[in-house]
Amino acid sequence: MQRIVTVAGARPNFMKIAPIARQLARFADTVRHTIVHTGQHYDRKMSEVFFDQLGIPEPDINLNVGSASHTAQTAAVMTAFEPVIDSLRPDTVVVVGDVNSTLACALVAAKRGVRLAHVEAGLRSFDRTMPEEINRVLTDQISDVLFTTERTAAVNLAREGIPEHRVHFVGNVMIDTLLAHRERARALAVAQQYGLQPRAYGTLTLHRPSNVDDQSMFDSLLTAIADISRDVPIVFPVHPRTRPRVLASPLASTLVERGALRLLEPLGYLEFIGLMDSSAVVLTDSGGIQEETTILQVPCLTLRTTTERPITVSAGTNQVVGTQPADIVAGWRRIGSRPPGTVPELWDGRAAERIVDVLRQVFIAA
């Protein structure tokens, strides 16, 4: 019997573990799969709703670490995860993405001598001030099996000295989930529910510390939103981290009063995919949303100076426009003249199947 522990901690992890859990369940006679939720995200709207909508089995174990400084949070996950490893004694720990829980559990697995697999390895923004970049680089350094979503990732890993035989190009599990749920999301007709005309509104998300921890930075981004909202109203599901900035912004209040900006609570997975799917544009600083808009073929403006997902620009609908208001607005004006995107290689809904194949082979070979 192979024992696999899969870790999920924060919102963008949940849609990544869903297809892996489903594939592992097919081998229930030979694989014992345990899901550990670290509790990094704990609000119902940031966590539970994703398990419900995506049919992910209830986590077997919840470490309930909650929010804290990055150091304290990472340390708390490590301290809570080590006894779990000692009692379950898994053959493999699977971590996904780049959040603090990813690195924390990766470190524990490596220190306890357990085989570590990283899903979504090798992505690099080359900006070490991003907390996620540190999490990515360090997790990849200590992983035994690295699953990549795009070919540039293998180049990054080779540059960092990771042996090629550890790296497996499998495609994108986030897209497995998107393709599996797109029709259900469309059927909700979310835009209509909010009284919006399909293709005549923009969807905004912001939560990167560099964009939302500083009020003047946030206010500056909002001036671009104010400009674009003269053409299309903007819908903004607000991340908990961002809420204090919105509440402290007089411009946000003015735009809301004018009906140019619509504030929403964080949405469930299906509602958010549905909202993006009929948007004229998505403005975001998220990583995963750059990928989802590529598949939905919705124009995306990334309000950052870098992306760790260059395929979304070279193949997809993404423009990395930076954080200067004039550049953001220029990106919006360019959208009509850009070619439609294409589907990146292996973003075909079968990444989790490939991952589970490799995990089984690696176990047999060991």
**CB 49, min distance to ligand UD1, A:** 11
**CB 252, min distance to ligand UD1, A:** 18
**CB 71, min distance to ligand UD1, A:** 11
Q: Residues 349, 350, 352, 358: what is their CA dihedral angle, to the nearest 10 degrees? A: -160
32 binds ligand UD1 (CB under 6 A): no
Which residues ranging from 125 to 144 are in contact with ligand UD1 (CB under 6 A)? 131-132
Beta bridge partners of 146: 118, 167
- With beta carbons less than 8 A apart as the criterion, state whether 4 and 35 touch: no
Would you call 207 a catalytic residue per the annotation? yes
Place of tokens 């609908």: 317
Segment interacting with ligand UD1, rule: CB under 6 A, options 40-48, 104-112, 249-257, 308-316: 40-48
360 binds ligand UD1 (CB under 6 A): no
CA–CA distance, 162 with 159 (Å, rounded to integer): 8
Segment interacting with ligand UD1, rule: CB under 6 A, options 8-16, 30-38, 109-117, 300-308: 8-16
Segment interacting with ligand UD1, rule: CB under 6 A, options 52-60, 97-105, 169-177, 303-311: 97-105
Task: Name the residue nearer to ligand UD1 (CB basis): 186 or 207.
Answer: 207
Beta strands in 86-216 (DSSP E): 92-96, 115-119, 145-148, 167-169, 202-205
Q: What interhelical angle do 215-228 and 250-258 show, nearest 10?
A: 20
Helix (H, G, I), strand (E, B) or coil at 346: coil
Distances (CA, A) of 40 to 65, 199, 288: 6, 35, 18
Which residues ranging from 189 to 228 are in contact with ligand UD1 (CB under 6 A)? 207
46 binds ligand UD1 (CB under 6 A): yes
Candidates 165, 168, 207, 239; catalytic one? 207
The site for ligand UD1 (CB under 6 A) is made up of 10-12, 40-43, 46, 67, 70, 98-100, 131-132, 207, 239-241
